[in-house]
Amino acid sequence: MPLLPDEIAELEARPRDGDAVRAAIQAYAELHLDEFAGWYLDRDRAGALTTMWTDHLDRHVLAIGALVHPAASVAFRSARFSLASLNALQERISADWDWMRGAGIAPLGVGINEIGNRVELDVSSTDPAAPFTVAAHYAAPLGMLEVRSDGTGAALVPIATVRGIVVTASGAAPGENTYLVVTRGPGPGRCGGDVDEIAHGVGPDGRFQILCAAGSWTIAIQDAPIGGPNGIDLGHLDVLVPGGGVVDIIITLDPH
């Protein structure tokens, strides 16, 4: 049976593209938060706006189909956990992770993977059992929480501020330059994090400032002119960085 003119007009008035479709689906999802599991753009389906539901999928397909234009690019799939429950778990973890450091684990970050329908928690620890320890603490349903460890414990290593001065072979300041501060070391942790506007560069007065994890590091000065060669040390110093505090060093450039 052909559609009547007013029925055709109603169909054409429905949201068809982009923000309008998202707004219509979001309004519908807010009425069904106990079953709405999230959404994403599915590249395998030509960018279809894909919504996920924990139950009554057929009902949601029909309801959303009645809200948007027939040509709207939408898709549907089932999921185990509602977005509301994932958000609740994420908030619970964020409010209760200080205990980890006492277990030799440093929390790095937590977020929701909507496509994967899970919460993902990144930690730093040398203990291979750390992911299991953390997962057991939160006791989330199987598959709801993925705990990933970097295996290094680098985030647990104390950080110190290294304040450096670069001087020429005669002891003078280098003046305007294109020098870079380059660090090398076995880790764990990092050396060379930015502290101020200098950001790995060397000021005309020869000063620089970086953050380094405790340990043995080689701090070198290299030249990096625009379009020119680089990678050759002009001077370097082996430094034993303590845990915390400030370390002052002087690096003398090799005479040319």
Where do the domains of the chain lie?
5-78, 83-154, 157-252
Provide the pLDDT for residue 10.
Answer: 47
Model pLDDT, residue 15:
46
Query: Do 5-78 and 157-252 come out as alike in CATH topology?
Result: no
Homologous superfamily (CATH) for 157-252: Immunoglobulins (2.60.40.10)
Q: Give the pLDDT score at 179.
A: 92
Res 21: pLDDT: 85
Asked whether 40 and 87 are in contact (CB, 8 A), the reply is no
Q: What is the pLDDT of residue 71?
A: 72
How high is the mean pLDDT in each 10-residue block of the chain (256 residues)? 49 58 91 96 83 97 86 90 98 96 95 97 96 97 97 90 95 93 86 56 94 92 66 91 92 88
Q: What is the pLDDT of residue 230?
A: 59
CATH topology (fold) of 83-154: GMP Synthetase; Chain A, domain 3 (3.30.300)
Please give the C-alpha separations between residue 119 and each of 88, 89, 125, 199, 246, in angstroms, as whole numbers.
10, 7, 19, 34, 38
Radius of gyration of the chain (CA): 28
Beta strands in the chain (DSSP E): 36-42, 48-53, 74-78, 106-113, 118-124, 145-149, 159-167, 179-184, 191-194, 207-213, 215-223, 233-241, 246-252
- Per-residue pLDDT at 17: 66
Residue 190: what pLDDT?
85
pTM: 0.71
